[in-house]
Amino acid sequence: MFDQWLLIVLMGVLVFSIRYIGLEWLGRVTLSPFAKLYFQYVPIAILTTFLAQQVLNPSSTAILSVPTLLVCLSTGIVYFFTNHFLLSVIIGVICGIVFRTLLF
């Protein structure tokens, strides 16, 4: 059991150090307009991947469940109107909890 926790802690330290070094390096660099335009599409690509994975789940028995559809639609609508990735993910998680436990 100790070996598993040691592995988890070491992986966390490794991932944090890699990301910290990258953020420190990017903090000193001025990005070109092309790079800024490119990075604007990263949040919507990640959000699309999350939502498509939920909708097109091959292990699901139903073709499309109502709670999944409602959660994906609410998350997409929040991102469309706010253009804020973290807020849309948080709202999506909250809607997922509400729709899956309380309504269905």
CB 37 within 8 A of CB 69: no
| Amino acid identity for residue 11 in this structure | M
Tell me the pLDDT tens digit for each residue of 27-76.
777 778 888 888 888 888 888 888 877 777 666 566 667 888 888 899 98
Whether the model clears a pTM of 0.75, i.e. scores above it, the answer is no
Rounded-to-integer distance, Cα 22 and Cα 79, Å: 27
CB 55 within 8 A of CB 64: yes
Rounded-to-integer distance, Cα 44 and Cα 50, Å: 10
Rounded-to-integer distance, Cα 32 and Cα 39, Å: 11
Per domain, the residue ranges of the chain are 1-30, 32-103
Rounded-to-integer distance, Cα 69 and Cα 75, Å: 10
